[in-house]
Structure 1
Amino acid sequence: MQIGSVTTPFGRRPMTLALVRRQIETSEIKPGKTADKWKVFRDASEARELLGLHDRSLAVLDALLSFYPDKELRQDAQLIVFPSNAQLALRAHGIAGATLRRHLALLVEAGLIVRKDSANGKRYARKDKAGAIDSAFGFDLSPLLMRVDELAMMAQHVVADRFALRRAKENLTICRRDVRKLISAAIEEGASGNWESIEAMYIGLVARIPRSPTLSDVNSILDEIQILHQEIVNTLEMQQKDENISINDDHSERHIQNSKPESINELEPSSRNEPGEKGVDADRTQREPVRNFPLGMVIRACPEIAMYGPGGSVGNWREMMIAAVVARSMLGVSPSAYQEACDVMGPENAATVIACILERAGHINSPGGYLRDLTRKAERGEFSLGPMLMALLSVAGEKGRKAG
């Protein structure tokens, strides 16, 4: 391979330190390194968006590679090709001259080729007495060989992201269908609940889906729709349990009325009316437990909590609860308030509430008082984590779109 010294572009094309670095790097390719040029081309094609290339850029790269006679790029071979613009344009499917020059510049900028310009800017090769190429001026393909492993990793990353996007879109479609049909069934059959508000929330979420969504867009909307789905299922499940209790009450009452008076004490537990004891009626009014949400969803909604975990990260619920204890102390929430929340909501949900409070710490005057208020609502069955997480996920998604 002809290495030579660092050269500058001919004419008005500027020289940059990045070009210097790339030319130096091409001289450091490991001896004996080889790569299938078409495999490298396929990897570059997969990674074109990461490289900032267009389809026309790939057509030009394909044409350049076609001028390299061997199938394999080799470290010890002559890797400079020197076709004229007319030859390149012909092999690049008749691309216009100005377009050809623009995409050659993009390939150089992407670090896939390096210009080796002659004194007059012409592309040609000098041969020795034996007829072998002694020196050549044109486009050096060495960066492709140098970056073969990097391009392969980039291609794998793009393929994985594409698969993840397809899977996320499928999950979003299924979740949208489920939520839409559940809302329609609840409204048509007169189920109790604020279904107009839930439907408006669903319509608002669907309206936020971009025409060409990214993986981040889909995951953000999917998280919120999954929370809404769980809220709907919880509401319908609670109603079903209330109906079952009502049916059981009617059945028990009829059974007692049809029984002999002396059998009442046998049918009814003695603790039912005893002072200080929780009877059957009290059990019926007990709150339903607050449902857990996936940890990954919680972390996406409340990223601040991660820095309070062991080693500055949260990878499981145990680490999440450790982080919540640290954050609780920082927020000034008393141990008794947090313990009460754990008893009522469960430790996972109490930790999630602390993460939500931490995320909005600047807007909450008394985190401890706020936690106690939420705990009392949860005890009465009036609190759900869903809307709180949905609001925070929406904020996180908005921040991500602005940053992008």
Structure 2
Amino acid sequence: MDYTPITPFRRPVNAAILKHQAAAQQEVPPSGVNKWEALRELGAARVAFGLTDRDLSVLQALVSFHQATILGGNNSELVVHPSNKAICERLNGMPCSTMRRHLANLVQTGFVVRRDSPNGKRYARRYGDEKIAFGFDLAPLAQRFPEVCEAAEAVRAAEERYRRLRSTVSLMRRDLVGLVEYGRSLRPDLVVWDQASDLAVLTARDLRRKLDFAELQQIEAGLSEALNATRGVIEGDQTEDMSSNDASYEQHYQNSNIDSYDSEPRLEKAQGGEVTTNQTEAPVANDQTDKADDTIPKENHLPRIPLGLVLAACSEYQTYAEPPVRHWHDLVRVADIIRPMMGISPSAWDEAKSHMGPEEAAVVIVAMLERFGDIRSPGGYLRALSAKAALGEFSCGPMIMALMRKEAA
């Protein structure tokens, strides 16, 4: 054909149409473009180009009239000429007025170019080896394929950032709830727990609706500040508690050393015949021992962590707990059942209960069960924790919080 029309038949012309008509005169990529891949990428980036899903349905129907899979390449005939009735049939009976409205948007955005005949009809004729077709030119879909791919990648990256930020906010909210529950068991008198709990409730309510990226960033900043505050209070309380335990245990060991040093020499003196010295010194040593024992604080071995938080972080124990666990003694009963299955000897179990207390030792058992595949020697691991507990350097709270963080990750 000697001339390519640039204006539609009996339709207004504007600057956008002239711009897209001029762009359509450019060459199609030599290798061509897979039409279905082009549609898929355009579907991902449709909002960036002002298209709707119905617009893409009409474009897909037009593309289906092109017999080849590749747009361009060896096939330079990219003009399709279906009738309105044929297009609506492939759109499952879409009304013709609706189809024309979406088709006009495709033309306005430049993904379809009209090549109208003198009378506005769509047809194709051959003059020897030359084919002349009037209808819809699909060349812009192939020409703008790199632009569409770039926009689609940007949209996918933005969606991925949004999903990750939303997941982060959800996990931070859950961690805040757990820390508040644990912190209240340690220091119920502090106001910070009420403030953090209110923030967690408001965040859960906000997450029910569609938030934009800026709103999520603002919520993340607030949760991060609240988490730092609660962690600071909890860690400070644990450090103070550990220091007091160390001090009490140091006093205990010092007194026991005095007892050992006082008793052995007296036995030697008794064997040597100095009975008078033994009789005068032995009561003094006993008085010192009794006074030292009176000053030793009675340690409360109940775990400083709510039972509900332990049961939420540990779930493997439920296989061995037929009656539900409602109290600490129920958890101790379950630990007694699990302990031999894990290969922990009775002596190691008794040692743990002696230094930690039955309840905290039971928490350690169910926590170890959660990571049983990662522990080479459960009995040796429990003895090591018992040794730390004997020195006042162990608390089961960090174990439970680590399990909660692992589950959140």
TM-score by length of 1: 0.57
Q: What is the rounded CA distance, in whole Å, between the counterparts of 1:129 and 1:5 in structure 2?
A: 19
Which residue is 1:196 aligned to? 194
Which residue is 1:113 aligned to? 112
Q: 1:179·1:229 contact (CA, 8 Å) conserved in 2?
A: yes
Q: 2:176·2:196 contact (CA, 8 Å) conserved in 1?
A: no
Which residue is 1:128 aligned to? 127
Unaligned runs of 5+ in 1: 261-404
**Counterpart selection for 2:18 from 1, 17, 20:** 20
Q: What is the rounded CA distance, in whole Å, between the counterparts of 2:34 and 2:61 in structure 1?
A: 16
Question: In the TM superposition, what is the alpha-carbon distance from 1:216 to its structure 2 partner?
Answer: 4.2
Q: 2:28·2:72 contact (CA, 8 Å) conserved in 1?
A: no
Matched, 1:58 2:41: no
Per-residue CA distance 1:26-59 (angstroms, 9 max, x = gap): 2122562511111111111121222222222221
Question: In the TM superposition, what is the alpha-carbon distance from 1:100 to its structure 2 partner?
Answer: 0.5
Matched, 1:96 2:95: yes
Q: What is the rounded CA distance, in whole Å, between the counterparts of 1:40 and 1:226 in structure 2?
A: 42
Cα distance change of structure 1 residues 133 and 51 upon mapping to structure 2, 3 Å threshold: same
1:249-260 → structure 2 map (5 Å cutoff): 249-251=247-249
Question: In the TM superposition, what is the alpha-carbon distance from 1:95 to its structure 2 partner?
Answer: 1.0
Q: 1:114·1:140 contact (CA, 8 Å) conserved in 2?
A: yes
Q: 2:29·2:72 contact (CA, 8 Å) conserved in 1?
A: no
Q: 1:113·1:144 contact (CA, 8 Å) conserved in 2?
A: yes
Q: What is the rounded CA distance, in whole Å, between the counterparts of 1:44 and 1:258 in structure 2?
A: 80
**Counterpart selection for 1:43 from 41, 44, 47:** 41
Tell me the percent identity: 30
Matched, 1:67 2:104: no
Per-residue CA distance 1:146-180 (angstroms, 9 max, x = gap): 11111122222233333333333332222221111
Which residue is 1:185 aligned to? 182
Cα distance change of structure 1 residues 187 and 14 upon mapping to structure 2, 3 Å threshold: farther
Cα distance change of structure 1 residues 79 and 4 upon mapping to structure 2, 3 Å threshold: farther
Which residue is 1:237 aligned to? 235
Q: What is the rounded CA distance, in whole Å, between the counterparts of 1:3 and 1:200 in structure 2?
A: 74
Matched, 1:148 2:120: no
Per-residue CA distance 1:222-247 (angstroms, 9 max, x = gap): 34323322222122111111222333
Q: What is the rounded CA distance, in whole Å, between the counterparts of 2:171 and 2:5 in structure 1?
A: 57
Cα distance change of structure 1 residues 172 and 82 upon mapping to structure 2, 3 Å threshold: same
Q: 1:81·1:139 contact (CA, 8 Å) conserved in 2?
A: yes
1:358-369 → structure 2 map (5 Å cutoff): none
Which residue is 1:360 aligned to? none
Question: In the TM superposition, what is the alpha-carbon distance from 1:189 to its structure 2 partner?
Answer: 4.7
Q: 1:6·1:23 contact (CA, 8 Å) conserved in 2?
A: no
Question: In the TM superposition, what is the alpha-carbon distance from 1:133 to its structure 2 partner?
Answer: 1.8
Per-residue CA distance 1:273-307 (angstroms, 9 max, x = gap): xxxxxxxxxxxxxxxxxxxxxxxxxxxxxxxxxxx
Cα distance change of structure 1 residues 31 and 3 upon mapping to structure 2, 3 Å threshold: farther
Q: What is the rounded CA distance, in whole Å, between the counterparts of 1:31 and 1:187 in structure 2?
A: 67
Aligned length: 256
Per-residue CA distance 1:206-265 (angstroms, 9 max, x = gap): 4343612344443442343233222221221111112223334445667789999xxxxx
RMSD, aligned CA: 2.8
Larger radius of gyration: 2
Q: What is the rounded CA distance, in whole Å, between the counterparts of 1:202 and 1:188 in structure 2?
A: 18
Determine helix, strand or coil for the equivalent of 2:170.
helix
Q: What is the rounded CA distance, in whole Å, between the counterparts of 2:27 and 2:218 in structure 1?
A: 43
Unaligned runs of 5+ in 2: 259-409
Q: 2:83·2:122 contact (CA, 8 Å) conserved in 1?
A: yes
Q: 2:62·2:87 contact (CA, 8 Å) conserved in 1?
A: yes
1:3-402 → structure 2 map (5 Å cutoff): 4-5=3-4, 7-11=6-10, 13-29=11-27, 32-74=30-72, 77-130=76-129, 132-134=130-132, 136-191=133-188, 193-194=190-191, 195-209=193-207, 211-251=209-249
Per-residue CA distance 1:339-393 (angstroms, 9 max, x = gap): xxxxxxxxxxxxxxxxxxxxxxxxxxxxxxxxxxxxxxxxxxxxxxxxxxxxxxx
Which residue is 2:391 aligned to? none
Which residue is 2:298 aligned to? none
> Which residue identity lines up with residue 121 of structure 2 in the other structure?
K
Cα distance change of structure 1 residues 173 and 209 upon mapping to structure 2, 3 Å threshold: closer
Question: In the TM superposition, what is the alpha-carbon distance from 1:83 to its structure 2 partner?
Answer: 0.8
Which residue is 1:361 aligned to? none
> Which residue identity lines up with residue 85 of structure 2 in the other structure?
A
Q: What is the rounded CA distance, in whole Å, between the counterparts of 1:219 and 1:43 in structure 2?
A: 28
Q: 2:113·2:138 contact (CA, 8 Å) conserved in 1?
A: yes
TM-score by length of 2: 0.56
Q: 1:48·1:54 contact (CA, 8 Å) conserved in 2?
A: yes
Q: What is the rounded CA distance, in whole Å, between the counterparts of 2:117 and 2:34 in structure 1?
A: 28
Determine helix, strand or coil for the equivalent of 1:7.
coil
